[in-house]
Structure 1
């Protein structure tokens, strides 16, 4: 069955948004790619996505939601914090990027109907990205598993870091598992996605993505236990396998989890805690405390912050932190109020994953894959569109009947 042209164009727009959020910094690729070229490609993808979405929705039919309203407020806060140029002119460029990103989401909201369409677009696009990672691994294993990253898998064709690859793999594994549990896809197609993605996830040694996958899936499947026998069977088998693995492969799992790090390095989260302490200890003015210093590259003192909440606090202040928290709370609250369904389970998984990953990954306050994950969750939680109710026919005024006619009718 062929997809209709509109659905294909929406999928293309979504793919361009995914391309825009891949980033331009990462490992060395087999063919060196200048960062300026990568930035031109990613920014061009965003401009094309906005133009294509606008051409598809010229009448500007949108579906307002609390998620998009909060995201727009976060954009306004980002502009306010960036106009002071404390982070340089790059902050204004990032504001323009975020504006196009949010604008494209508004244009796509017309097709948010609580269905699984955007879930399928999400899986296809990130599986294509993982396909490029697998191709790089086959072409040049040395470049894909460099010593610089401790032998962890990176993108050898496009500069992707191990946490990025782990995130993409974990998200599509979780979504595909939920689809196959509800028989929205066949087992062969699901295996084609899940098995290679899980191998790539294991090669990245990404702890955050792995924990986010398992905890997110546990919460999502838990939301289906009362209504789905398949979910109950899967949950039972998953618990048994987890117990056997914990008992029989404890040393191997511990070695994989520690990645050869010392206990001290592991306790301070691979040096992240030092950056966090320095950021929180730095003096700030009242304006910087409330509004931040403007959109930057999510770093402090030349080192990555690697925490969404602290990155938002640094760049968009306490008000920005409040808006991001409101986005997570609103989406989570709406998901709890929805009746059990595959769409709700997918939304629970995505919200849970983003909340867990926010502790060691940045991105909730700017155009990023995490905002795309939350956008898919928002589309799943949208109420189905209803047909416009027809207006009642106007009443025809009664003709006044003379009294003599009424008397003749009565007789």
Structure 2
């Protein structure tokens, strides 16, 4: 006979109804379909512009796949959360406010009808995140989804490299690794590789995965990262990992050992391979090209010098393709300023500050370390990459950080008479606060 739902936990069982005063209804576990939704969100943010693939893919087909994945993600999230149960999230709330300001800026159609289409895409993206907040409980479930999906993406990059090395390392990109099966640029590949390397290292330090599984992910990802010659991703990986490991040093012997060995390896590499590292870092660029950040500074100066009305300064010109004068902006803050104005910059800065502040206030834990790594990486990458103001992998990284910092949904136990407590074993009365 089926067991009846109970309230109040022991001795009758867990509070499966969730109607005890002060209790919050909570799901029994994370359904597998939630992982599929997260994977579809990642697929949507892969983009449609990039290198030439082995088999030419029409951009319209790629856009159909990416946009279709977002619609499917929203539909599946609605299916699995039909009662529209959501959890409070300052991160998603700030994204919603950013959406409102983006719609206001795009309503003038200064950037064309495409701006309103991008607002609709951002609305679906944020709506899906709201539906997924039901399962944001401070656990590592979404971290595993994140690693698996991005490792699958990197697997397609590695497959393209094996099938056609010439197409995967084209001269157009200076011999840097690109996606030969799906159009991915070197910075994209470097970003995906750096993020999953950092998360896997932290999971090993926290003993949540075995070393063999970690090596299978970390080693090929690091090789792909090296082939992309992406300096931003590499610096973001090392600085983000350093900050995350430092947050664990006082409470984890494994973190202290890892930090010590990492410092020793860094010193040996700096002494023994200085010329090779310098050559890799410069990528054969001239001093002038390097100092102007591969031409980015020229675009930034032109953007800041362009005349703007008061409305454009406050609200921006509407969501666009993150370019100015036909050239990519490649800076999240300037891209947000151009498209969403000073209001957009304020909201994005608030997102980073709030997530960082919450992470600092949390007690040391593996989940907190992963969140610190993701927040640090996104903050560093924002200097030479755009994406903090629109549906992008960076917003997904920050959403993952927000899920790691969310408080677990727990029902408050009812007070039991001492007579009842005497019948409960001592080990059953203990509870670990996470």
TM normalised by structure 2 equals: 0.89
**Hey, what does 1:244 align to over in structure 2?**
268
**Hey, what does 1:45 align to over in structure 2?**
69
**Hey, what does 2:171 align to over in structure 1?**
147
Give the match's secondary structure for 1:78: helix
User: What is the correspondence of 1:101-116 to structure 2 with a 5 Å cutoff?
Assistant: 101-116=125-140
Q: Could you report, residue by residue, the CA deviation over 1:33-89 in whole angstroms, capped at 9, with x for unpaired residues?
A: 000000000000000000000010010100011111101000101100000000000
Instruction: Please give the alpha-carbon distance, in whole angstroms, between the structure 1 residues aligned to 2:228 and 2:370.
Output: 24
Choose which of 366, 380, 398 in structure 2 pairs with 1:342.
Answer: 366
Query: Contact 2:176/2:227 (CA < 8 Å) preserved in 1?
Result: yes
Q: List structure 1 runs of 4+ shifted beyond 2 angstroms.
A: 4-7, 388-392
Instruction: Please give the alpha-carbon distance, in whole angstroms, between the structure 2 residues aligned to 1:347 and 1:104.
Output: 20
Choose which of 347, 353, 368 in structure 2 pairs with 1:329.
Answer: 353
Choose which of 120, 123, 130 in structure 1 pairs with 2:144.
Answer: 120
Instruction: Please give the alpha-carbon distance, in whole angstroms, between the structure 1 residues aligned to 2:45 and 2:340.
Output: 20
Q: Could you report, residue by residue, the CA deviation over 1:96-120 in whole angstroms, capped at 9, with x for unpaired residues?
A: 0000000000000000000001100
Give the match's secondary structure for 2:190: helix
**Hey, what does 2:115 align to over in structure 1?**
91
Instruction: Please give the alpha-carbon distance, in whole angstroms, between the structure 1 residues aligned to 2:396 and 2:359.
Output: 17
Instruction: Please give the alpha-carbon distance, in whole angstroms, between the structure 1 residues aligned to 2:355 and 2:266.
Output: 30
**Hey, what does 1:72 align to over in structure 2?**
96
Deviation at 1:388, TM superposition (A): 5.5
Choose which of 40, 47, 55 in structure 2 pairs with 1:16.
Answer: 40
User: What is the correspondence of 1:278-293 to structure 2 with a 5 Å cutoff?
Assistant: 278-293=302-317
Give the match's secondary structure for 1:47: helix
Instruction: Please give the alpha-carbon distance, in whole angstroms, between the structure 2 residues aligned to 1:388 and 1:109.
Output: 20
Instruction: Please give the alpha-carbon distance, in whole angstroms, between the structure 2 residues aligned to 1:391 and 1:225.
Output: 38
**Hey, what does 2:54 align to over in structure 1?**
30
User: What is the correspondence of 1:180-195 to structure 2 with a 5 Å cutoff?
Assistant: 180-195=204-219
Instruction: Please give the alpha-carbon distance, in whole angstroms, between the structure 2 residues aligned to 1:204 and 1:223.
Output: 29
Instruction: Please give the alpha-carbon distance, in whole angstroms, between the structure 2 residues aligned to 1:386 and 1:40.
Output: 41
Give the match's secondary structure for 1:185: coil
Instruction: Please give the alpha-carbon distance, in whole angstroms, between the structure 2 residues aligned to 1:390 and 1:52.
Output: 36
Choose which of 199, 203, 221 in structure 2 pairs with 1:179.
Answer: 203
Deviation at 1:390, TM superposition (A): 5.6
Instruction: Please give the alpha-carbon distance, in whole angstroms, between the structure 2 residues aligned to 1:117 and 1:74.
Output: 27
Q: Which runs of 5+ in 2 are unaligned?
A: 1-27, 417-434
Q: Which runs of 5+ in 1 are unaligned?
A: 393-411
Q: Could you report, residue by residue, the CA deviation over 1:151-197 in whole angstroms, capped at 9, with x for unpaired residues?
A: 00000000000000000000000000000101100000000000000
Choose which of 293, 298, 303 in structure 1 pairs with 2:327.
Answer: 303
1:384 maps to 2:412: no
Instruction: Please give the alpha-carbon distance, in whole angstroms, between the structure 2 residues aligned to 1:48 and 1:299.
Output: 28
Query: Contact 2:318/2:339 (CA < 8 Å) preserved in 1?
Result: yes
Query: Contact 2:322/2:386 (CA < 8 Å) preserved in 1?
Result: yes
**Hey, what does 1:160 align to over in structure 2?**
184
User: Of the two, which has the highest radius of gyration?
Assistant: 1
1:371 maps to 2:395: yes
Deviation at 1:7, TM superposition (A): 2.9
Q: Could you report, residue by residue, the CA deviation over 1:303-324 in whole angstroms, capped at 9, with x for unpaired residues?
A: 0000000000000000000000
Quote the RMSD (CA, aligned, Å).
Answer: 1.3
1:138 maps to 2:199: no
Instruction: Please give the alpha-carbon distance, in whole angstroms, between the structure 1 residues aligned to 2:176 and 2:29.
Output: 40
Deviation at 1:5, TM superposition (A): 8.8
Give the match's secondary structure for 2:280: helix
Give the match's secondary structure for 2:375: helix
Instruction: Please give the alpha-carbon distance, in whole angstroms, between the structure 2 residues aligned to 1:230 and 1:84.
Output: 55
Deviation at 1:291, TM superposition (A): 0.1
Query: Contact 2:30/2:135 (CA < 8 Å) preserved in 1?
Result: no
Instruction: Please give the alpha-carbon distance, in whole angstroms, between the structure 2 residues aligned to 1:173 and 1:271.
Output: 29
Instruction: Please give the alpha-carbon distance, in whole angstroms, between the structure 2 residues aligned to 1:133 and 1:310.
Output: 30
Give the match's secondary structure for 1:313: helix
Instruction: Please give the alpha-carbon distance, in whole angstroms, between the structure 2 residues aligned to 1:11 and 1:365.
Output: 24
Instruction: Please give the alpha-carbon distance, in whole angstroms, between the structure 2 residues aligned to 1:328 and 1:301.
Output: 29
- Equivalenced residues, count: 390
Question: Normalized per residue, which structure has more helix?
Answer: 1
**Hey, what does 1:169 align to over in structure 2?**
193
TM normalised by structure 1 equals: 0.94
